[in-house]
């Protein structure tokens, strides 16, 4: 005899995640249901496999499970199973031999038993509706991805273009607005008097003159350094042969001195 089974798909979500261990809720309603499914295979949407281990005491259907890899709190966990269905036995004996009797095609064939669908259509009955079997609107929480963390040992080997850039947002305030804010002590709009405006313009002019002087001074310093480097290289080229001869003479004298010391030792 063939067995009749029904496809069952249970959905749960994690509420506490460790390395490979995870605590799941909203899949079962009691500890007894969890006990019946201990050892059943689990699977997440991303394909991570797991197994139901044990029910949580006083957890109302919550249980502990293990997985191949660490899960996220936003993951959805499925449990696919096959539940055996035992149909009700029906015995309706036919005492006549109407089926075996040859009937002409034009004649009306005898109907032994009507189906449930035929009886409903004749009597105008609607199909009974089970609220548990009705499709419900899926209410999914927005998935939050953790920030990518690259170890320092791997990040140092990456090319510069592939390294993560973490820059702080720079403030777009100009110096004039910041000066006004500092002058007032608050970030509110400041109404300057005539005297304060004159002082402010004078300070701006003095800063402009000072910047111009600093710029000219740095340019002169760069020119002097360039002239000095040029003069130094020309002098080195000029006296290079003499220095070379002096170096040769020095090494020759040192070699003769070492040779004399070795001869005395012998």
Is residue 56 within 8 A of residue 88, CB to CB? The reply is no
Name the residue among 27, 83, 38 with its Cα closest to residue 60.
27
Tens of each residue's pLDDT in the chain, 266 residues: 688 999 999 999 999 999 899 999 999 999 999 999 999 999 999 899 999 999 998 888 999 999 999 999 889 999 998 888 888 888 877 676 655 556 555 556 666 678 899 999 999 999 999 988 888 888 877 877 778 788 888 888 888 888 877 655 555 555 555 555 555 555 566 788 889 899 999 999 999 999 999 999 999 999 999 999 999 988 888 888 888 899 899 988 988 888 888 787 76
* 84's tokens: 């055996």
> What is the distance between the alpha carbons of residues 191 and 202, in angstroms, rounded to a whole number?
18
Q: CA 197: distance to chain centroid?
A: 53
CA nearest neighbour of 50 among 6, 8, 12: 12
Amino acid 172: pLDDT: 56
Separation between Cα atoms, residue 186 and residue 150, nearest integer Å: 42
Map the chain to HEC letters. Answer: CCCCEEEEEEEEEEEEECCCEEEEECCCCCHHHHHHCCCCEEEECCCCEEEEEEECCCCCCCEEEEECCCCCCCCCEEEEEEEECCCCCCCCCCCCCCCCCCCCCCCCCCCCCCCHHHHHHHHCCCCCCCHHHCCCCCCCCCCCCCCCCCCHHHHCCCCHHHCCCCCCCCCCCCHHHHHHHHHHCCCCCCCCCHHHHHHHHHHHHHHHHHHHHHHHHHHHHHHHHHHHHHHHHHHHHHHHHHHHHHHHHHHHHHHHHHHHHHHHHC
- Map out the domains of the chain with their CATH numbers: 1-87 (2.40.10.190)
pLDDT of the residue at 166? 66
Q: Which of 60, 47, 49 is nearest to 22 (CA)?
A: 49
Q: Provide the pLDDT for residue 76.
A: 93
Residue with tokens 């300057």: 192
With a threshold of 0.85, does the pTM exceed it? no
28, with CB counted inside 10 A (0-12, 13-18, 19+), is buried
On the 0-12 / 13-18 / 19+ scale of CB atoms within 10 A, 22 is buried
Kindly state the tokens that stand for 91: 């015995």
Give the per-residue pLDDT at 108.
60
């Amino acid at each position: 005899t063939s067995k009749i089974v029904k496809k069952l798909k249970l959905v749960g979500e994690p509420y506490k995640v460790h390395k490979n261990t995870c605590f799941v809720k909203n899949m079962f309603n009691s500890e007894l249901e969890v006990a019946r499914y201990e050892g059943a295979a689990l699977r997440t949407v991303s394909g991570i496999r797991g197994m139901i281990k044990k029910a949580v005491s006083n957890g109302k259907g919550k249980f502990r499970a293990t997985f191949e890899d660490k899960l996220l709190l936003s993951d959805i966990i499925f449990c696919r199973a096959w539940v055996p269905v035992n149909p009700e036995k029906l015995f309706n004996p036919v005492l006549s031999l109407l089926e075996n009797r040859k009937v002409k095609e034009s004649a009306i064939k005898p109907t032994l038993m009507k189906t449930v669908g035929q009886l409903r259509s004749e009597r105008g009955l609607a199909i009974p509706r089970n609220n548990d079997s009705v499709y419900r609107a899926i209410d999914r929480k927005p998935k939050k991805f953790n920030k990518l963390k690259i170890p320092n040992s791997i990040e140092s080997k990456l090319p510069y273009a592939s390294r993560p850039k973490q820059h702080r947002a720079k403030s777009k305030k100009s110096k004039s607005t910041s000066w006004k804010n500092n002058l007032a002590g608050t970030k509110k709009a400041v109404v300057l008097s005539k005297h304060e405006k004159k002082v402010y313009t004078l300070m701006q002019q003095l800063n402009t003159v000072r910047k111009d002087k600093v710029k000219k001074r740095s340019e002169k310093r760069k020119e002097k350094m360039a002239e000095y480097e040029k003069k130094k290289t020309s002098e080195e080229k000029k006296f290079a042969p003499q220095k070379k001869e002096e170096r040769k003479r020095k090494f020759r004298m040192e070699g003769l001195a070492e040779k004399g010391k070795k001869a005395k030792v012998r």
